[in-house]
Amino acid sequence: MKTIKSWDELPASFGSEAEETVFWQQHQLDARLMDTVLSGTDQTESTTITIRFDPRMLARLKRLARSRYLNYQSMMKQWISERLEKELRD
């Protein structure tokens, strides 16, 4: 699988949804590139919440996030966003 490290590597458009699907089956975004998008969000539109985690689970989350060059909170927001989209589609 090819990793995209710059926005310039993405096609300007796709001919069809099938073509886009094939592209994303063969490519993935670099974690650092995704992090730039997540960190660039408008913080004024965010609400702070508190979630309690088992310390071991939190340590595992942080380790996984570090391995992907992400902030663990950004990674969790990404996961929640992806799951929310999936739930709304189903």
pLDDT tens per residue, range 10-66: 888 888 888 899 998 999 888 887 777 766 655 557 788 899 999 999 999 999 999
Q: What is the reported pTM?
A: 0.50
pLDDT of residue 10: 85
The mean per-residue pLDDT over the stretch 77-86 comes to 90
pLDDT of residue 1: 86
Considering only CA atoms, which of 61, 86, 90 is closest in space to residue 76? 61
Are 31 and 68 spatial neighbours (Cβ–Cβ below 8 Å)? Answer: yes
